[in-house]
Structure 1
Amino acid sequence: MTREHRYWVYVMTNRSLHAMYIEVTNDLERRVWEHRQGFGSEFARKYRVHRLVHAEEYSDVNEAIAREKQLKGWRRLRKNELVMATNPGWADLMPFDDESPG
């Protein structure tokens, strides 16, 4: 039996929308929770990057990593355009919940 893997390339920002963080994970809910608790990323902790504004799902980890590198290489304007194309109001796609993920 083949296990299906899921990987996420995600974009988070802070309340002022000035800081932007891009990363890959295999558990999006857990990773967002970790950011909000201040675990795992000094950058995210320092700039309070808690708002999930974009996420892309992949079944191949190499594709996800390649996409992460691609997005990180983009200028900020292009990253903003990516978010605005799918989330024009920059809404938090994973509303806050202080509880640990399931």
Structure 2
Amino acid sequence: MDEQAYVYIMASKRNGTIYLGSTDHLARRAWEHREGVVPGFTKTYGCKLLVWYELHGTLETARVREFQMKSWKRAWKLREIEGLNPEWDDLYERIARP
């Protein structure tokens, strides 16, 4: 069975509040953050922009990477975002399926 999982970063705005998470369904999870469906950090701080993501083969490896990155300094996370997405564009439209 082919599994896919992602580590992702949501942001409130460029250089704003960021949230790091992992999921096996990136489009659905990003939509949940955007719509504020689930109470929590991203809803409270308005993290609605999908600004970075990384594909992994399994949810387990994505979660390992997520926990590794959560221990990083903020500057390192910002460097990851700007390496993939220097303009901090919202990547949701690129991954959302109609």
Same fold by TM-score greater than 0.5: yes
Amino acid at match of 1:77: A
Amino acid at match of 2:54: E
Amino acid at match of 1:21: Y
Unaligned runs of 5+ in 2: none
- Quote how far apart the aligned CAs of 1:30 are: 0.4
Unaligned runs of 5+ in 1: 96-100
TM-score by length of 2: 0.89
RMSD of the alignment, in Å? Answer: 1.4
TM-score by length of 1: 0.85
Look at both structures and tell me which one has the larger radius of gyration over its CA atoms.
Answer: 1
Amino acid at match of 2:62: A
Which residue matches 2:76?
78
Which residue matches 2:6?
8
Tell me if the contact between 2:7 and 2:54 (Cα under 8 Å) persists in the aligned partners: yes
**1:9-61 CA-partner distances (Å, limit 9, x unpaired):** 00010125321001111110000111111123510001110000111111122
